[in-house]
Amino acid sequence: MITLHEVYEQGSEAVKAAVLAFGARHPLDGAEPDVEPNWKWAEKHFTHLIEVIMGTATPPQTGTTATVRRAENEAVGILLAVNGQPNYLCPICVKRQRPRL
């Protein structure tokens, strides 16, 4: 599975900006907003986002590799889509903060 770092390294300027914005949504605990993000958490949440997307996909005839690739592309698409939105939250962070009923 592709990592957030690989997405950044291989991506266009727009993708790089989206990755940096996603990282910024994962500050170190108790850190000021302009401090380096917690890239470990951002990476875990990006991987989890891909896994969530794969879990909702119906298995195609093309196999697991194609499913993973499509989920990775969709996850990058989500980063690009929310990058221009002010104050968006990581969907994995939001999911974990939601109270259980």
Domain count, the chain: 1
Q: How much helix, strand and coil, in percent to the nearest 5, is found in the chain?
A: 65, 0, 35
**pLDDT at residue 3 greater than cutoff 50:** yes
Q: What phi and psi values does residue 37 have, to the nearest 5 degrees?
A: -65, 165
**What confidence score (pLDDT) does residue 36 get?**
85
**What confidence score (pLDDT) does residue 101 get?**
47
Residues 63-101 have pLDDT tens digits of 678 888 999 999 999 999 999 888 888 888 887 775 544
Query: pTM for this structure?
Result: 0.81
Residue 31, domain extent: 4-97
**What confidence score (pLDDT) does residue 14 get?**
95
